[in-house]
Each structure stands twice: as C-alpha cells, then as structure tokens.
C-alpha cells in the first residue's frame, strides 16, 4: 500500500484515540508510522534534499540559505514558543511540530507535565524523529511527556474541545496563513480559546503579511484574548502572545 493511502488509515486511528484521550497510544502509532516513512522515503536522501524538504514543508525555520544556524533558529523558536508563559506542570498543545524547534525550547525552558504536538506531514515527522539536522531538537521530541499526533489539527482540536484543558498553546502552523487558512480561521481559533483554561496563554505565529497580521490580531481580540505583539529582530514577522481573560 502506498504511503499516502496508509497515512489516511493511520490518521483515522490516531483521531479515534485523540477523541478517547489516549494520547500515548496516538503517539506510539505516529512514531511507528514515521519510522516506516523514514525507512521507505527519507533514509536514502542526501543532506541537501533533506533541507529542501524541510523548507518546502515548514516554509523555513529561521536559517539563511543552506547554512543551519541553531542559535538563530532556537532564538526565533523561543519567541514563537513563549516558554515563560508555561506554568510548572502545565499542559501544552502545539499546532505544527516541524522538526521540534519549539518543543525543544518549551520543554527545555519550562517544565510541563504534558506536551501534545500535532503535525499533518509524515515526512517532516520522519525527519524530525529519525534524521533531524539539529540533534537537540530530536532529543526533545523523545521526552516521555511529548506526545506526537500525525493528523489534521482542525479535526483533532475539534475532538478535544470539552475533554481537556491546556495551560498554553503554541500555534506554529506555517509561515504564511494564506497557505493554510483553515488553521487561521475564526472557528479554529475559537476552538483553541475553548481549549485554554481561564488565564491560559496562546502564542500565534502570524507571518509577515500585514493584512493577515491585522486580521488575526483583531480576530483574537474579538474572541476575548488580551494580545501583545512580538516581532523578529531582523524580519517583518509578528508573533501574537495572547491570554484568555
């Protein structure tokens, strides 16, 4: 069976387990499928193709050209993760696992008790878990508190509403909201609001498109968030740090 066809079956099983709150089982299924994708698709790719694949899926992680810069990548990741907002023992939800940059920052800086992270790309998870160019990111994803779910975040979040509350949500669902509007719709952001406990925090990567930034800012305000704006030091990229009030 082709990977793409098997992925649909695997995702249905993962979503079923999310609906039941069985995140550890969803994580085990995700990691096993990512290993299969690694063996069949990723293992024999040269390093430059790995970087090209990371860029094509994530839109870039803050490095310039082909030169990986873990310091800059992790600094940008810290702005997105907003780890200082995570209370000790808190529960964290992440939209967009990528190669584990924000997971590394959030679980290294803070001490959450649970870190659920969702991504819809089996290829990026195969790289993140088994061929990660940044070893500390790979190590962070192996922590026992980290539960990875390969599935559509829109579907997963809808299933979680009413069954679990989070202290902090990291929404790093891509560098350009125009490319994936479902993850930046008012309905999806409203579901994230409902998943947060009162006083909980949301960090939203808003990209560099001014129109999208403005729309997302006012959308968060209309949902009842108190919003502060953070920017990258050398790019017109904004992140919104928001609290449910």
Q: With cut-offs at 50, 70 and 90, classify the pLDDT of residue 165.
A: very high
pLDDT tier at 234 (50, 70, 90 boundaries)? Answer: confident
Residue 91: strand pairing partners: 114
Distance from C-alpha of 64 to C-alpha of 107, rounded to nearest angstrom: 25
pLDDT average, residue stretch 94-99: 97
CB 206 within 8 A of CB 240: yes
Is the predicted pLDDT of residue 16 greater than 90, yes or no? Answer: yes
Sheet holding 146-150, edge to edge: 146-150, 114-119, 91-95, 166-171, 196-205, 238-244, 225-231
DSSP state letter for 228:
E
Cβ atoms of residues 34 and 126 within 8 Å: yes
Mean pLDDT of 194-200: 98
Mean pLDDT (whole number) for 141-163: 98
**Residue 145 in this model has a pLDDT that exceeds 80:** yes
CA-CA distances (angstroms) from residue 186 to 40, 106, 164? Answer: 38, 26, 20
pLDDT (average), residues 172-196: 91
Q: What is the pLDDT of residue 214?
A: 96
| For residues 187-216, average pLDDT | 96
- Mind listing the pLDDT tens digit for each residue in 32-84? 999 999 999 999 999 999 998 998 888 766 555 566 788 889 999 999 999 99
Residue 151's pLDDT band, with cuts at 50, 70 and 90, is: very high
Q: In the structure, what pLDDT confidence band is assigned to residue 174 with cuts at 50, 70 and 90? A: confident
Quote the mean pLDDT of the chain: 94
Confidence of residue 233 (pLDDT cuts 50, 70, 90): confident
The whole-model pTM stands at 0.95
Q: How confident is the model at residue 178 (pLDDT cuts 50, 70, 90)?
A: confident
Q: How confident is the model at residue 99 (pLDDT cuts 50, 70, 90)?
A: very high
How many Å apart are CA 165 and CA 196, to the nearest integer? Answer: 5
Domain holding 87, by residue range, is 3-244
* DSSP character string of 7-71: HHHHHHHHHHHHHTT-HHHHHHHHHHHHHHHIIIIITT--HHHHHHHHHHHHS--S-BTTB--HH
Count of domains for the chain: 1
Contact by Cβ (8 Å): 107, 69: no
CATH of the domain at 238: 3.40.50.150
């Amino acid at each position: 069976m082709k990977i793409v066809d098997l992925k649909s079956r695997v995702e249905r099983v993962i979503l079923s387990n999310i609906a039941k709150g069985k995140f550890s089982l969803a994580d085990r299924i995700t990691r096993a499928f990512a290993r299969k994708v690694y063996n069949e698709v990723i293992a024999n790719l040269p390093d430059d193709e790995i970087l090209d694949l990371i860029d094509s899926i994530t839109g870039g992680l803050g490095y310039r050209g082909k030169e990986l810069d873990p310091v800059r990548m992790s600094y940008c990741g810290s702005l997105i993760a907003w780890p200082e907002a995570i209370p000790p023992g808190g529960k964290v939800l992440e939209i967009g696992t990528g190669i584990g940059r924000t997971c590394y920052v959030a679980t290294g800086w803070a001490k959450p008790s649970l870190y659920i992270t969702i991504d819809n790309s089996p290829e990026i998870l195969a790289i993140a878990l088994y061929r990660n160019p940044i070893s500390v990111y790979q190590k962070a994803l192996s922590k026992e508190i980290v539960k990875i779910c390969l599935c559509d975040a829109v579907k997963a979040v809808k299933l979680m509403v009413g069954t679990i509350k989070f202290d902090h949500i990291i929404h790093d669902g891509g560098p350009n909201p125009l490319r994936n509007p479902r993850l930046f719709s008012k309905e999806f952001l409203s579901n994230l609001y409902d998943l947060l406990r009162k006083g909980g925090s949301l960090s939203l990567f808003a990209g560099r498109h001014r129109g999208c930034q403005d729309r997302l800012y006012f959308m968060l305000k209309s949902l009842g968030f108190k919003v502060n704006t953070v920017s990258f030091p050398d790019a017109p990229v904004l992140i919104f740090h928001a609290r449910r009030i």
